[in-house]
Amino acid sequence: MKNLWVSIIFTFVTICSHGQIKEIASVDSIFAEWNKPDVPGCALGIINNGKLIYSNGYGIGDLEHDIFITPSSVFYIGSVSKQFVTFSILLLEEKGKLDLDDEIQKFLPDFPEYETPLTIRHFIHHTSGVRDYLTLMYLKGRSYLDHIEDDEVYELIKNQNVLNFSPGEQYLYSNSCYFMLAMIIEKAAGQSLKEFAKENIFEPLGMHQTIFYDDNTDIIKNRVFSYEKEQNGDGFDNLIMRFDLVGSGGVYSNIEDLFLWDQNFYFNKLGKGGQEIVQKMHEEGLLNNGESSGYAFALNIGTYKGLKTVSHGGALAGYRAQLMRFPEQNFSVIILSNRSDANPTSKAYQVADIFLKDKLEVDEKDQPKLSKLNEKIFKLSTKKLEKFCASYWNIEDSYSRKIYLKNDTLIYYRSENSESNLIPINQNEFKMLGVNADIEVKFEIRENNQQIMIITIDDGEPIESVAYEPASYSNKELKKFAGSYNSDELNVVYDLMMKDADLILYLKGKEISVMHAIKDNIFSNDDFGVFEFKKDSNGRIEEFELMAGRVKNLKFIKQ
C-alpha cells in the first residue's frame, strides 16, 4: 500500500511540475489496463518542444517484490539500441578511424569472403544478406534467454556457407550485422562498445542510467524484469534473461535518459558537434538498383497521418520498447514495457493522436480505406465465403497461409497459435482483426481461373499469394521423408520420424511439431519454417533446404 501511495504522489508531482495538462486523463486511459498493483506495465515519456512534459509509470517492474514502475525504472530496450551503434560508427568516421565503404575483412580478417564484397554500409542498412544469428540460434535449439558467448555467435555466423542474397540486392533485417558492428567498433576504437558509448555518448549527454550490458553478472540499479502471460492461467511468468550480447541490442536505459538522447537529435553535442552527423543518421541506404532500402542508420523514416516520423522499436524476452519522434512538431513519445503482449508502437500512435490531433492529416490515398471502415459491415452468405477458402502459397518468400471458415467467419491461419478473423468490407475485400496494423485482404480471380490473395499492410506494397491444392501423402509415402538430416552450417541434426499418421520433426530428442505437406516435396512446420526436399537421380530424398524468415536456403543433408 505504501508503494501505491508513492506512485500516486509521484504522478501528482510530475503533472504539477509541468503545469496542468488537459490531455493527461486521456493518456492515462490508454494505459489503464496496466495501471494496477499486480501486473507488469510500462514507463511513458512525452516530449514537446524540448521538455519532458509528462512522464509516468504504470504497473509493476518486479512482481516478486511489488516494485512499481516509474520514469526512473531501467528497461532493456532491445533493437532501439542499434541507433547507439550507428552513432558510434559515425563518430569513428569523424575521427578517421573507419569508412562506411570499408570491407568487413579490414577489421574482421577471419570473416569469410563471398562473391560480392561486404561493407560496413551493407551492415548498417540490413542489405548484406548475412543470416540472422538469433534465428540461427533458435534453429539450433538454443534459447535467447540463455547466456551465449560472443565467440560462439561469431563462429556460427562465419560458418554459413552462403548469404541469403547477394549484398545490396535486398533489404532483410539481420541482427548478425549489428553484432559484428560492435566488434568493428572495438577494433577501430581500441575499446569495447560499452566503453566507447559510455565515454562518447552516454556520459557527455548525462545519460548516467544507460549502459551497453555486456556482462550479465553486473548489477543494474532500478532494473525492471520482464514477463509473459501464463498459458493456462491469469498470472504471469518471469522471463529470466541472461542474454548479454551487445550490438544487435544490449542497452538498458530509462525514460529520463532517453529524453536526453532524443533532444540530441535537435542540438547535437557529440563528436565535433553540429547537425551534420545527425543528418547522416537519417539517410536511408540504397539498393544496387538505386532504390531505397527503407532503413536509415537504425532509424525508420516514415509518416503517420501526414506527419513525418522517425522511430525504432525493440523486443526481447518480455521487454518491448518504442522511441517515436515527430521531428517537425518537436514531439516525441517513449514507451518502455516489461510485458511480452505489449504493443508500444500502437500506444505511441494513440498518444500522438491526443497531443497532435490538430496537426494530423489524412492523405487522399487513405480516404477510400477510411470510408470502408465507416461503412456497415458487408453480410456475405456462407456459400460466398466458402469460395475464398483455400491454401495460399507465397512464391517470393516461400510460405503458406490458409483461409478457412469457422462460425460463418473467415479465418486467416498462420499456425496453431496464430490466426485472425477476416471481416468483409466489400464483396471480395476483408479487414483483418486482432493485429497491430491496418491490414486488408483482397481476393481476385486471374487468368486460368487462378485465385489470388492480396494482402496490403499499412498501405505498403501488395503481397500476393496463389491458391493451391495441398499435397497429400500416404503413410508409406511420408516414410520416405523420414530420417536424420545434418546441417554443417548449424552443426545440428534434425530427425524426422513417423508418429501415428504424421511426420514429426525432432531436435535433440525433443518433439518440435508436425510437418504439414504443402506442395510436392515441400512441407511447412509451425515452429521452424518451410522445408523443400530434393531427390537424387534415383528419386531418393537426399536433402532439404530450410526457409526460416531471416534465414534462407539453409541446407540439411540426409545421413
Asked if residues 353 and 361 have their Cβ atoms less than 8 Å apart, the reply is: no
The three-state (H, E, C) secondary structure of 246-283, written as one string: CCCCCEEECHHHHHHHHHHCCCCCCCCCCCHHHHHHCC
Lowest mean pLDDT among 113-127, 390-404, 470-484: 390-404
Strand 319-326 to 307-316 pairing: antiparallel
N-to-C CA span, the chain: 63
Does the reported pTM lie above 0.85? yes
CATH topology of 76-355 equal to that of 475-558? no
| pLDDT for 374 beyond 70 | no
Q: What are phi and psi of 224, to 5 degrees?
A: -95, 140
**CA 438 to centroid of chain Cα atoms:** 17
Average pLDDT (405-421) is 91
Between residues 471 and 15, the one the model is more confident about:
471
Average pLDDT (153-170) is 97
Q: Which of 138, 119, 137, 139 is nearest to 129 (CA)?
A: 119
Q: Tell me how far CA of residue 435 lies from CA of 40, 62, 412, 457, in angstroms.
A: 21, 28, 11, 10
Average pLDDT (348-369) is 77
Asked if residues 295 and 285 have their Cβ atoms less than 8 Å apart, the reply is: yes
Indicate the residue type of 264: N
Concatenating the DSSP letter of every residue in 303-321 gives EETTEEEEEEEEEETTEEE
SS3 439: strand
DSSP-derived letter for residue 223 is B
Asked if residues 444 and 460 have their Cβ atoms less than 8 Å apart, the reply is: no
Q: Calculate what percentage of the chain has a pLDDT beyond 70.
A: 93
Per-residue pLDDT tens digits for 79-111: 999 999 999 999 999 999 999 999 999 999 999
Residue with cell string 477476416? 422
Write the CATH number of the domain with boundaries 76-355: 3.40.710.10
Per-residue pLDDT tens digits for 17-57: 444 467 899 999 999 999 999 999 999 999 999 999 999 99
Between residues 340 and 23, the one the model is more confident about:
340
The pLDDT assigned to 362 comes to 62
Domain ranges of the chain: 76-355, 368-468, 475-558
The pLDDT assigned to 369 comes to 46
Per-residue pLDDT tens digits for 455-490: 998 877 899 999 999 899 999 999 999 999 999 999
d(CA 335, CA 514): 38
SS3 328: helix
The pLDDT assigned to 21 comes to 62
Query: pLDDT-derived band of residue 417, with 50, 70 and 90 as boundaries?
Result: confident
The three-state (H, E, C) secondary structure of 80-127, written as one string: HHHHHHHHHHHHHHHCCCCCCCCEHHHCCCCCCCCCCCCEHHHHHCCC
Q: Average pLDDT of the chain?
A: 92
Show the cell assigned to 122: 551493407
Could you tell me which CATH class the domain 475-558 is placed in?
A: mainly beta
Show the cell assigned to 145: 534467454
DSSP-derived letter for residue 358 is T
Between residues 24 and 399, the one the model is more confident about:
24
Helix (H), strand (E) counts: the chain = 15, 29
Query: pLDDT-derived band of residue 377, with 50, 70 and 90 as boundaries?
Result: low
Per-residue pLDDT tens digits for 185-236: 999 999 999 999 999 999 999 999 999 999 999 999 999 999 999 988 889 9
